[in-house]
Chain A
Amino acid sequence: MYSDDFKPENYRYVGKNAVPRKDAAAIVAGKATFLDDFSLPGMLIGYTLRSPHPHAMIQSIDVDDAKKMNGVMAVLTYRDVDQEWKMGWPPQKPILCRHLRYIGDPVALIAATDLETARAAAEKIQVEYEILPCVTDGMEAIKDGAPQLYEEFPNNVVTPGYPPFQKDGPFWHLIKGDPEKGFEECAYIAEDTVEFAKMPAPLAPEPPGAVVRWEGGDDFTVWGTSQSGYILKIINSSVIPNCNLDVHTFNVGGSYGNKQSLGYQVMSAALLSMRTGKPVKVFQTKVEQMTAFETRLGSQVHAKIGMDKDGVVKAVKAEWVVDTGAFCNATQGQVGVGIGEAQLVMAKCPNWDLDTNIVVTNKQPAGIVRGYGGQELNSCLFLLIGRTMQAGNFDPLECYKKNYVSDGDLYTWRDGRTWQAHSINYVKAMDAAAEKFGWKDKWKGWGVPTWVSEDGRKVRGVGCGIIGNADIGEDNTEAYVRIVPDLVGNKAHAVLQCNVTESGMGQRSNLVKMVADILNMPYEKVEITPADTGINPTGFGLCGSRGTITYGHAVSSAAEDVKKKLFDLAVPYLEVAADAMELRDYGVGCKARPDKFVTWKKLIMQDLTLTGYGQHIENFSTPNFFIVFLEVEVDKETGRVEVKKMVGGTDAGQVIDPLMIEMQCHGGIGSASLDTALYEEHIIDPATKRPLTYNMIEYKWRPFNNFPEYETSILESQFDTFQFKAVGLGEIAGAAAASATMQAISNAIGVSVSTYPATPDVILKALGKV
């Protein structure tokens, strides 16, 4: 579907699914390599003994018996590890530490010839713990007298402003206009404390892991399950002083933003490799992934939101407490994006006081998951925006159209700088998706079901939610495109050199399509280099849906650069200006005269190659957009909620890959997105503080035979972003689904529901039945 002002380009590859993904045959044949399929000669297996207590101090630890075991090559405790080698942003947590801050915190590290031996050794380690009082709630943690996790974080508040996210200085508090005065002009105001704090698991199928080989001195070679080797490198480079990490990745078995820095996996393998002189693999079990790896952030907000009589938000005052568990990594970036995304959905609001605190608690670490802070805040704020819309009896769709960011609006992004939206307007996309869903017919008003069964037991309701993200232009990135004449014959191939890991988006192949289109050569003749920080130019990988714009821009620019060089070289042969030339058949031809032609092979010096360079400079001026419409059915007897139908809508600019973008939309059901409104949560035993949802049997996830009907509504405009006029999308596909579900449930049963997830007991409580 196209919006009115868009004339589709007929590219050779872009916008089509004419060719399979480069790794498609390998994936369906079981030949694609993932980390756990990889081995090195002499490689040892690393294993971690973990804390059984949420907050404790190691009083004594005896590893002698473990060390004596046959096949055990090293046992490390905090006494063996420099306590100044700290992980996290800001640096906070030694790799092994006497002070244990969550159930699952590493106590000792073992390297052995095999996993069974390492596990047996762990059982021989004798530890005495001093048990400390613990705090597992973000709002409790900031109170005076709460147990303290880190000396450097008084009141458990993480020091704001770690430089990588905010180069101009700390940014954690958005102040604009005069909120108090703004509220005076509002007709409808909602104020409450709301939360999205059950810290669900992103649950990538492949657990996190790393293989590290210490090369001597400061050099380490790392193979990780990271979706971005470069992010792994920059976050971990500050742990061991002067360390030089050469990071390789394979195919990554799902990540959803979650498997990036892998601080503990990489650093524990690095320590064991330094001690043993051998490569060491640390590959977590599913239970370790679910209990000791990063969850979604906890989000608790006290907020007041005011809307004028026309349905435009005019004032926001909020205090956002962000629970990052026992470890803060990229959370400051996430909070910055959360603040930014709140402004995108309330873009006409001139008055803001949105304050934030990142808090550490005695729970497993929490950090990056698809949605990156935006989903966590959106899921809270929309409960209150909903109440203002209800008070004014506004149709939410009409309100979103009035409030969502469009060309010319200003907002402060995570870098603390003010940006102006450029080239975007999503009203048509909202209308198109609404039409596909049948919103006009289904929307009956706030608290009114769309359908009631004859016996009154089952009711249906509809809801819709929106979100957007400007991070799609984040981080500087570069690429080379090199033309390599074939050794035999007169053709050539191209090598795209850029650092992109494949973790499910098919973007490596889509970048190849862009090169093939610009150089007008077959897709099959363009290769892309393996993801590796050593041989490739800088690239932050695929995060924040940045792949389309940032890599698209850098890669297309590199291809255009080499094209220009070819044209320059062809002038003496064709005797026309560059604008009269075209690329065809591995050569340069004259547009007007088919007989005038010279091969690339002839233009490029014998045995040499020709390289183009391209770059993208960070730019936050074109936010993307996603709207979710959904219909739920609630059984008022059992409290069970079922999503019957969903429509995901957006305007993607030029679609690069029609089938993959559809799957990116579907992805909003997974990775702790939609189902955080229904059943996805980590349940913590209130007495022991242990996660009861520690494996894939206890933790609830949506099985294959329980998927709702899903339709996409994807408009194509022509955005002024880069050569192919597209925006990235995947990150936000599910980020507004949870808040939309709460709205739909509330409409179905006629009672406002604000507790995530809306499990049967929540529903029955709301209905006054328990």
Chain B
Amino acid sequence: MKIQEITLYVNGIQYEFSIGNKFGQIPPGETLSQTLRNRLGLTGSKEACGEGACGCCTVIMEGDAITSCMTLTVDCDGKHILTIEGLADPETGELSPLQQAFIDRYAFQCGFCTPGIIMTSKALLDKNPHSTEEEIKEALSGNFCRCISQYHVVQAVSDVAGKAGA
């Protein structure tokens, strides 16, 4: 069946899109990363490798961390998506405990891969609030960080896992 329209719920906001190749429509080949970044202005997640290897484009869909550069928007009909922009309290602007832990532990250098790392960690902690260090490292094994902030990231995520409630 040819899909004509889709609905996405991104950070709690409902978006309806028309699928097609006309101006303004979402072509069937458009990735979720492109839709989030170019259409919705959610540039927090980054697109770097375009083939699911670096994890910079990670967002959470229906509770799972996914690489949005490897996900076609047309396949996301009805899905709930959370991006890095949706973590802070929408009313007060207060950062989530995980975001605050990344600041407290200096868990980033250039910060390009940080949104993806935070989203992967968030998905892990939502499922497994008391993740061990080994589980944290395993979950993040698809997130590339070349400045080498890994040691501090593991501390930051472990801090939150110790307290629970990402």
Contacts and interface: CB of A to CB of B under 8 A. Distances in A.
Q: Do A and B come from one complex?
A: yes
Contacts of A28: 95, 99-100, 102-103, 108, 111, 114-115, 118
B137 interface: yes
A495 to B, nearest CB: 24
A666 B50 contact: no
A205 to B, nearest CB: 5
Contacts of A670: 145-148
A206 B46 CA distance: 8
B115 to A, nearest CB: 5
Nearest to B111: A27
Interface stretch (A102-110, A247-255, A396-404, A518-526): A247-255
Contacts of A663: 106, 109, 147-149, 151-152
Interface in B112-148: 112-115, 118, 134, 137-138, 140-148
Interface residues of B, number: 53
A703 B138 CA distance: 9
Nearest to B27: A116
Contacts of B109: 254, 504-506, 660, 663, 667
A663 B148 CA distance: 7
Nearest to A32: B111
Interface string B31-66: 000000100001111111111011010000000000
A29 B84 contact: yes
Contacts of B142: 703
Contacts of B50: 285-286
Interface in A687-737: 695-697, 701, 703-707, 710
B85 interface: yes
A706 B140 CA distance: 11
B110 A253 contact: yes
B10 interface: no
B106 A659 contact: yes
Nearest to B34: A115
A27 B108 contact: yes
A211 to B, nearest CB: 14
Contact of B148 (A21, A667, A703): A667
Interface in B49-100: 49-51, 53-54, 56, 83-85, 87-88, 95, 99-100
A410 B16 CA distance: 70
Nearest to B105: A659
B146 A20 contact: no
A109 B106 CA distance: 41
A207 B49 CA distance: 9
Interface of B is mostly: loop
Contacts of A203: 146
Interface string A135-155: 000000000000000000000
Interface string A500-534: 00111110000000000000000000000000000
B150 interface: yes
Nearest to A31: B44
A581 interface: no
A43 to B, nearest CB: 12
Contacts of B48: 205-207, 253, 286
B114 A666 contact: no
B85 A204 contact: no
Contacts of B53: 695-697
Interface of A is mostly: loop
Task: Report which residue of A17, A24, A205, A710 has the largest number of chain B beta carbons within 10 angstroms of its beta carbon.
Answer: A205
B51 A30 contact: no
Contacts of B137: 704-705, 707
Contacts of B88: 29
A660 B106 contact: yes
Nearest to A709: B151
B46 A704 contact: no
Contacts of B95: 25, 28-29
Nearest to B96: A28
Contacts of A230: none
B46 A34 contact: yes
Interface in A655-674: 659-660, 663, 666-671
B132 to A, nearest CB: 12
A648 B53 CA distance: 29
B103 A254 contact: no
Nearest to B49: A286
Nearest to A203: B146
A671 B146 contact: yes
Given A28-B118, A696-B51, A667 B147 contact: yes
Nearest to A253: B112
Interface string A197-208: 000001111110
B111 A23 contact: yes
Contacts of A697: 51, 53
A256 interface: yes
15 contacts: A20-B104, A21-B106, A205-B110, A205-B146, A253-B110, A253-B113, A256-B146, A286-B48, A504-B110, A504-B111, A505-B109, A660-B106, A670-B146, A701-B144, A705-B137
In order of increasing CB-CB distance, the 4 nearest A-B pairs are: A30-B44, A253-B112, A30-B84, A504-B109
Given A25-B95, A27-B114, A28-B95, 8 more contacts: A29-B95, A30-B44, A30-B85, A36-B43, A251-B111, A286-B48, A695-B53, A703-B142
Interface of B: 37, 42-51, 53-54, 56, 83-85, 87-88, 95, 99-100, 102-106, 108-115, 118, 134, 137-138, 140-153
Interface of A: 17, 20-21, 23-25, 27-34, 36-37, 202-207, 251-256, 285-286, 502-506, 659-660, 663, 666-671, 695-697, 701, 703-707, 710
